[in-house]
């Protein structure tokens, strides 16, 4: 079966009837993520199913025209690049599932604002503006699920796997029959094997680097034992036994920790308070080029970077 050609979409076959879809150009920094389309198949699923394919409404409609109608949509977690456009699938008739409690973030932006702790440091209007720039639009109805449960749509099975270092509700998906492991936002974000990415992301209070390391180990084992293909929210398809995604993830965390440790040492901050250390390190633009950013984007990146640094400080004490 030939794949449709849609401008600004990259569509790849993982298997004959499961596709990985990527929106090439995004309207803003955190507005889209790649996801899987489970095409209708006799005696498996009569209708189209989408796993965490958060792309702009116009593309949702085009894909639904080709492969739809859609029956079910599963979201992997409550970050903006995974929730902005889910309403578009819902409007086409999809029943939407999302991990609890982040499922509430799709229903009301205030839940997103408070749930990730933005309210500790930033005004609602600042974060709301960032949400609007990314195209956030709420859903009407949600089916929350507990991370780790298995979902069944007719005869299609998807096992959710809790990877909570990235965010409390964050899940990956194992399709046991198709031998596909989708690790969602675990941090494998290389556009191709040659190009570097940012890596694991833990820029909120609720993230945990030590849990992240456990999640990577767990994902690696599941991949080796149960999957032929590895897909994720911001990268290409990897084939078992290629373990480069896991090496990349571990290395990125290690390098980031060294970056923080070295900055503390070279600025003689060892005995300073956490606040003094964080303020000094934020000035250094260790993780994001904030000197080039302004307005709400600067505020949000500064907030995220402060938590990346604080999460690394926690690791120093552990």
Distances (CA, A) of 92 to 66, 88, 310: 13, 7, 42
Least Cβ distance, residue 184 to Zn ion (angstroms)? 7
Q: Supply the minimum distance, in Å, between the C-beta of residue 201 and Zn ion.
A: 6
Q: Which is nearer to Zn ion, 159 or 168 (CB)?
A: 168
Contacting positions for Zn ion (CB under 5 A): 79, 185
Closest contact distance (angstroms) between CB of 273 and Zn ion is: 30
For Zn ion, give the closer residue by CB, 79 or 85.
79
Q: Which is nearer to Zn ion, 206 or 267 (CB)?
A: 206
Q: Which is nearer to Zn ion, 124 or 198 (CB)?
A: 198
Q: Which residues contact 210 (CB under 8 A, 6 or more apart)?
A: 165, 315, 318
- CB of residue 162 vs Zn ion: minimum separation in angstroms? 14
Minimum CB distance to Zn ion, residue 79 (Å): 3
> Which is closer to Zn ion, CB of 82 or CB of 159?
82
């Amino acid at each position: 079966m030939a794949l449709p050609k849609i401008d600004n979409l990259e569509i790849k076959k993982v298997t004959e009837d499961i596709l990985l879809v990527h929106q090439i150009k995004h309207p803003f920094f955190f507005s889209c993520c790649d996801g899987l389309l489970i095409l209708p198949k006799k005696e498996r699923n009569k209708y189209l199913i989408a796993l965490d394919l958060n792309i702009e409404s116009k593309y949702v409609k085009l894909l639904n025209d080709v492969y739809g109608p859609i029956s079910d949509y599963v979201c992997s977690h409550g970050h903006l690049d995974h929730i902005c456009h889910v309403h578009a699938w819902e409007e086409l008739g999809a029943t939407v599932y999302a991990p609890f409690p982040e499922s509430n973030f799709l229903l009301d932006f205030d839940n997103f604002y408070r749930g990730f702790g933005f309210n500790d440091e930033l005004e609602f209007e600042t974060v709301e503006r960032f949400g609007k720039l990314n195209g956030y639009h709420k859903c009407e109805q949600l089916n929350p699920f507990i991370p780790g449960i298995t979902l069944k749509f007719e005869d299609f099975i998807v096992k959710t796997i809790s990877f909570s270092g990235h965010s409390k509700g964050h899940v990956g998906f194992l399709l046991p029959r198709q031998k596909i492991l989708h690790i969602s936002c675990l941090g494998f974000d290389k556009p191709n094997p040659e190009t570097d990415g940012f890596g694991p992301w833990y820029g909120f209070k609720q993230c945990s680097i030590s849990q992240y390391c456990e999640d990577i180990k767990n994902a690696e084992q599941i991949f080796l034992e149960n999957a032929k293909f590895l897909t994720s929210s911001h990268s290409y398809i990897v084939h078992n036994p290629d373990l480069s995604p896991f090496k990349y993830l571990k290395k990125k965390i290690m390098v980031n920790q060294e970056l923080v440790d070295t900055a503390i040492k070279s600025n003689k901050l060892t005995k300073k308070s956490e606040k003094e250390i964080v303020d000094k390190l934020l000035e250094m633009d260790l993780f994001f080029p904030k000197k080039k950013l302004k307005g709400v984007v600067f505020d949000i990146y500064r907030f995220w970077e402060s938590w990346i640094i604080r999460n690394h400080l926690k690791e120093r004490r552990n």
